[in-house]
Chains A and B, each alone.
Chain A
Amino acid sequence: MKIGILSKRTKMLAGKLKVFFENRGDEVTIYTDKNLILNENLFQNDFFILKSKKLFYLYAAFYLEANNIPIFPNPELTFRHKNRIEAHFMIKQAGLTAPDYYFGTFETLRKNKDKLNFPLLLKPIMSSGSRGIKIIKSLEDLPKDANQLIYLEEYLNGTHYDVYFIKDEICQLEKPPLSNEHVDMNKVALSDDVKEIIIKWKNTFNIPFGHLDMVREENTEKLYVVDPGNFPEFTNWKREGDFIVKIGNIILEQYNQLKI
């Protein structure tokens, strides 16, 4: 079959998935910013994989879905992962604990400074992962552009984890605070509460693979979910077996369900 992959990159996980499907005899095109044209030409593919959460890939995904071209993961769910406030709602919907957030202009934050417990984390509103995150120790550290909306999140002191899951397999890794997925991380023993969180997350949203960034707050030992992702690169997957084969097979299962 003809498969399209909507991805910012042609290498890394998208490139590996391309090889996996080509080895099966499928014809695969990776659509990046260079060749993604959003019109009916996309319909020549039988199936799409939405690897990137960038705006135009989401547009393409909604367009394909509206025209009955099977696409995985679900575009709406992918969008919800990208928007910080939506992601916060998702964490709450799953019955999990998320850090408090504050969203407003600099002037609004200044007027409400008594409600803000510094340090806080400044995060881009439309982004997941660690890109663009900055520790804010006081109002002085904030951008002062009057029109700019600022999203701040409670800063949690504690142990940071990146937890991957592929179906029932879970890989819990300890990560340096605010680092991205690609730094080297140590695998640690899976704790019961982390396992419980992953199961709740998977069951609430029917997500077969993904990851959750968590922080165990040092004073309370409470686990917070700070960042969900539904299509990580799995750079630090440290369990037996080839994760590309596992993910590739799950994607094929999803295609078979979606095409009905």
Chain B
Amino acid sequence: MKIGFISDNYHLEKKSVEFVKYLKTKVEVSLYIEESFLLKDSLVSDFEEDLFFVKAKGELALGLIKLIEKTSIPVINSSKGIWNAIHRFLNSMLMEKAGVPVPDFSLNPIGVVPPFTDYIIKNIVDRKVYAFAPKIEKKNGQIHVKDERALNEAVGGEENYRYYFYQQFIKSKWEYKVYGIGEQLFFYKQLPLLVNPNKTESRQKIEDIQELKEIAFKAMEAVDLKIASIDFLKSKEGNYFLTDINCCPNFNYIKNGHKIVADYLIEEAKK
């Protein structure tokens, strides 16, 4: 059996060393690294892999996946899933449509305020490898959180979007994190990043929460992801809201996460 791993340097070197090492003890592994791979027209008949696994979000990775998807070789996650996951407006829209509770959201030209008072401005396309850098403003009983990445991309750089993506701010004691690997879900909670920027310090494994289980599966299906991490906040009324979905989760936070993912991929490749 041969599994292709499509990654970028960051995910390969910082997040996937154990995973690749373990996978190589089980199957033949081929690496496709975004920064050193040449995508060209004549590749389509060359693939010998039984399955591809992707931990990358770049345009080249997406192009390569689309090329593979023209064959019958399965790819986890799909190009559609990755595209949906990195575009916040699109995944919020798809999940809302599927009945997943997401905070209100709006994509507005700079200067147009959203139709809700407490908000967080998030980056529009979640593709680059950079850290969440929040600025918090509290004024007249309202809370406005602004991610510096989003502010910069709105007014300059190659993006120069001239738009902000607003998500209604949900005040929550805990942030809930659910990792989805096929049919398996793993539940954690941690203090929200705005309370403690060191997310691992307060992170703890928790029992399964039935309500989140149903929402997580629904969200993964709506966005078309087989492997994902999903963030939730719980409002003071006790309602969960899905605030983020990530197509390239760091499964090292799960005990034996690298093995669970590798074994899942091998089982999928056998199908």
Contact = CB atoms under 8 A, between A and B. Distances in A.
A, B bound: yes
Interface of A: 33-39, 56, 59, 62-63, 66-67, 85-86, 88-89, 98, 100-105, 107-109, 111-112, 115, 125-126, 146-147, 149
B37 A37 contact: no
Nearest to A56: B163
Contact of B106 (A33, A38, A104): A38
| 9 shortest interchain CB distances as A-B pairs | A38-B107, A103-B39, A85-B63, A104-B38, A39-B106, A100-B41, A112-B38, A59-B89, A108-B38
Nearest to A126: B59
Given A39-B107, A100-B42, 14 more contacts: A37-B106, A37-B108, A39-B105, A39-B108, A56-B161, A59-B90, A62-B93, A66-B93, A85-B66, A89-B66, A103-B59, A104-B39, A104-B60, A111-B36
B94 interface: yes
Interface string B61-94: 0010011001000000000000000010110011
A33 B36 CA distance: 36
B162 interface: yes
A28 B69 CA distance: 40
Given A62-B93, A125-B59, A34 B41 contact: no
B106 A103 contact: no
Contacts of A109: 38
A86 B58 CA distance: 15
B37 A108 contact: yes
Interface in B188-205: none
A66 B89 CA distance: 12
13 contacts: A37-B106, A39-B107, A56-B107, A59-B89, A62-B90, A63-B93, A66-B93, A86-B66, A89-B66, A101-B41, A108-B36, A115-B38, A146-B35
Nearest to B79: A86
Contacts of B112: 37
Given A39-B106, A149-B60, A63 B89 contact: yes
Interface residues of B, number: 32
Given A37-B108, A37-B109, A39-B115, A149 B38 contact: no
A36 B106 CA distance: 11
Contacts of A59: 87, 89-90, 107
Given A56-B107, A125-B59, A108 B70 contact: no
Nearest to B44: A92
Contacts of A108: 35-38
A105 B41 CA distance: 16
B40 interface: yes
B109 A33 contact: yes
A102 B39 contact: yes
Contacts of A37: 106-109, 112
Nearest to A59: B89
Nearest to B94: A66
